Structure 1
Amino acid sequence: MREEIDLIAVDDGVEVYLEDTGPLEAPAIVVLHGGPGSSSYILREGLEEYLEGFRVIYFDQRGGGRSPALPEEPGLFTIDALVSDLFHLRDHLGLNTWTLLAHGFGAVPALEYARRSPATTERLVLINPWTNFPWLARQLYRASLALRGVDEDVELPEDGTRLLQEAFATVEPKAAFDRLLFPSQHSRMEYEWLAEGSTVVGADTPGRMFVLNGLWRLDYTPYVLEVRSATSVLVGTLDASSYPEAQTVADLVGGRLELLEGAGHYPWIDQPYAFEEALQSALSG
């Protein structure tokens, strides 16, 4: 299979790590990982066999994964910067149009790109999207209460940043996220086995800078109404970081919603056959 690996310049002297795979003449898909500050490695490991026949572009967003580290300057880590990088990336590859396939946090730059450039967006495929971060903060807060054996039926602060500060004051962030993302110990262990085997250890600078920029106060939902591209939302019903909030995205954009019963945040791990069917349906329109 054809594969080209490169570092490409996007904007303001920033470079991103890129893996361009598959037939050059095939329909193009760009894969947007979550995080912020994560890597495309896990997505390629999980999705590659389902995307045969497409030209698939995996890249590590600025400052994360295998992309060069960036200084701790909040201005370098904004949604606008991530979207600008996508425009530069498409120009570099010489693509007139492409499909954006996004997971978790990657849904926000994917949706914003499609909102700004519908003519170059063939379609959107959003897997367990995160778009309402105050809602996600409330979910993490509830998870922290459950881990401490505290009654979850309590009045919650409105501010997402304050919620996280209170949630993580006594509970490790990973423990709260794990409670939301993984429906079983098996799926968590399989994910961690893949992650540890990747040897990709990116800086946590993107995550910290997005927090400073107010990420946990961002509810992107109102902007979804302005997205006109064909959209499919695939969501695991056991992913408490995305379900049921992800249904709102499908409703507002007038898109297709595929509920994957028994699946968590990484549905190809939990329900590979159901996920494959849903993904193929989403890509074929």
Structure 2
Amino acid sequence: MPTFTAPDGTRLAAHLSWDGDADGDGEPVVCLPGGPADSAYLGDLGGLAAHRALLRLDLRGTGASALPEDPASYRCDRLVDDVEALRTHLGLSGIDLLAHSGGANLAVQYAARYPERVRRLALIGPGTRAAGVEVTGEARRAVALSRAHEPWFPEAFAAFEAVAAGTGGDWEAVAPFFWGRWDETARKLHAESRPRNQEAVRGYGSDGAFDPDATRAALASLTAPVLLLTGEYDLNSPPASTAGLAALFPDATLVVQPGAGHYPWHDDADRFVAATAAFLAARPG
């Protein structure tokens, strides 16, 4: 398990997943989890490690990374320094960067600040706050209604409507909407993917974390190719909002994975790996 030191002295950890027969150029893909969550839930991303070495970063205060002395350093824009410290530690002039969910907000801010350091950028079920792309209630509701045939739908939809209306609602009851298959494996993975450090959760998107206008302006000149892959059923990152994010990049490929939710490598690993591995294997430029 590689460890390294952030600029403020916080000790950070990353985890290597790699099939020894993996092809590719031998350099790892740096993988960012969905905001301040332990990166363990990413696993080998459905077998992507058979094609490229994956280096999963535990953000500060999560997983095997240390708690910072300054809780304000949990803020998303400040975590850009941690990603850059990892690149420096690896001795790479540029990195392939993959991010899931809320981690996409960190990845795009890194790309905005260090565009010359990004070779390829893969955003999976991406969060869009950093770029100021709105996810409308109507878009989420349309995705939710597309699951009306599921046996769990009535209870989950009632909870979704209550949450959307601000009248309460049980977020745990909404959980099936985030998975293409709500089975025992999904239930287990859902429990494992929940953030444990609530202070980090609060700090991640706190005041000042995002400057959408500046980020959008910087992304407009990003030369690196970008993959945006989301699930057909992704309630967090509906295809419409992911398409809006894709429109901000000069060289973007949008993939909507059929039958998938917010964790597409779980719902159809073969389809996810085929699309993502092909993108990561392509030569930039």
TM-score range, shorter chain: 0.7 to 0.9
Match of 2:11 among 15, 18, 37: 15
**2:48 alignment counterpart:** 50
Q: Secondary structure at the match of 1:17?
A: strand
1:179, 1:136 → 2: CA distance? 19
Residue matched to 1:247: 243
Conserved 8 A contact 1:134-1:216: no
* CA drift at 1:44: 2.1
Alpha-carbon contact 1:31-1:56 (below 8 Å) kept: yes
Counterpart amino acid of 1:247? A
Match of 2:147 in 1: none
Contact 1:267 1:275 survives alignment (8 Å): yes
Confirm or deny: 8 A CA contact 2:76 2:205 kept in the other structure.
Answer: no
From the superposition, tell whether residues 175 and 14 of structure 1 become closer, same or farther in structure 2 (CA, over 3 Å).
farther
Q: Percent identity?
A: 25
The letter of the residue matching 1:58 is R
Q: CA deviation at 1:41?
A: 0.7
Alignment pair present for 1:62 and 2:73: no
Shift of 1:85: 0.5
C-alpha distance 258-14 of structure 1, shift in aligned 2 (>3 A): same
1:228 Cα deviation (Å)?
2.8
Secondary structure, aligned partner of 1:191: helix
5+ long unaligned stretches in structure 2: 145-154
Q: Which amino acid aligns with 2:199?
A: T
Aligned residue in 2 for 1:92:
89
Q: Check conservation: 1:124, 1:232, Cα contact below 8 A.
A: yes
State how 1:144-163 maps to structure 2 within 5 Å: 146-148=157-159
Does the 8 Å contact 2:178/2:262 carry over to 1? Answer: yes
Relative to the length of structure 2, the TM-score reads 0.77
Paired position in structure 2 for 1:126: 123
Query: What amino acid maps onto 2:233 in structure 1?
Result: L
CA distance in 1, matches of 2:156, 2:16: 43
- In structure 2, the residue matched to 1:37 is 36
Cα separation, partners in 2 of 1:116 and 1:216, compared to 1, 3 Å: closer
- Shift of residue 31, structure 1, vs aligned partner: 0.4
Question: Runs of 5+ in structure 1 lacking a partner?
Answer: 153-162
> Aligned in 2, Cα 1:231/1:113: closer, same or farther, shift over 3 Å?
same
Give how far 1:257 is off: 1.1
Distance 1:103 1:27, change over 3 A: same
1:257 lines up with 2:254 in the alignment: yes
Report the 3-state secondary structure (helix = DSSP H, G, I; strand = E; otherwise coil) of the residue aligned with 1:275.
helix
Whole-Å separation in 2 of the counterparts to 1:231 and 1:141: 24
Q: CA deviation at 1:103?
A: 0.6
Contact kept in structure 1, 2:36 and 2:204, CA below 8 Å: no
Query: Is residue 128–residue 236 contact of structure 1 (8 Å, CA) maintained in 2?
Result: yes
Offset, 1:238: 0.7
Asked if the contact 2:77–2:210 (Cα under 8 Å) also holds between the matched residues in 1, the reply is no
CA RMSD of aligned residues (A): 3.5
The 1-side partners of 2:195 and 2:126 are apart by 23
Question: Matched residues in 1 for 2:171 and 2:98: separation?
Answer: 27
The answer on whether the counterparts of 1:139 and 1:240 sit within 8 Å (CA) in structure 2 is: no
State the secondary structure of the residue aligned to 2:63. coil
User: Could you tell me which residue of structure 2 aligns to residue 231 of structure 1?
Assistant: 226
TM-score by length of 1: 0.77
Matched residue of 1:58: which SS?
strand
* Residues 126, 233 of structure 1: 8 Å contact kept: yes
Instruction: Give, as a single letter, the amino acid of the residue that structure 2 aligns with 1:14.
Output: T
2:110 is the alignment partner of 1:113: yes
Contact 2:15–2:56 (CA under 8 A) maintained in structure 1: yes
Kindly tell me: are residues 184 and 284 of structure 1, through their superposed partners in 2, closer, same or farther at Cα, counting changes over 3 Å?
Answer: same
CA contact (8 A) 2:16 2:56 kept: yes
What SS is found at the alignment partner of 2:43?
helix
What is the aligned partner in structure 1 of residue 280 from structure 2? 283
**Are residues 237 and 230 of structure 1, via their aligned partners in 2, closer, same or farther at CA, if it must alter by over 3 Å?**
same
1:182-201 equivalence runs, <5 A: 182-186=179-183, 189-194=184-189
What is the alpha-carbon distance in structure 1 between the residues aligned to residue 205 and residue 112 of structure 2? Answer: 24
Match of 1:209 in 2: 203
**1:157 paired residue number:** none
Count of residue pairs the alignment pairs up: 261
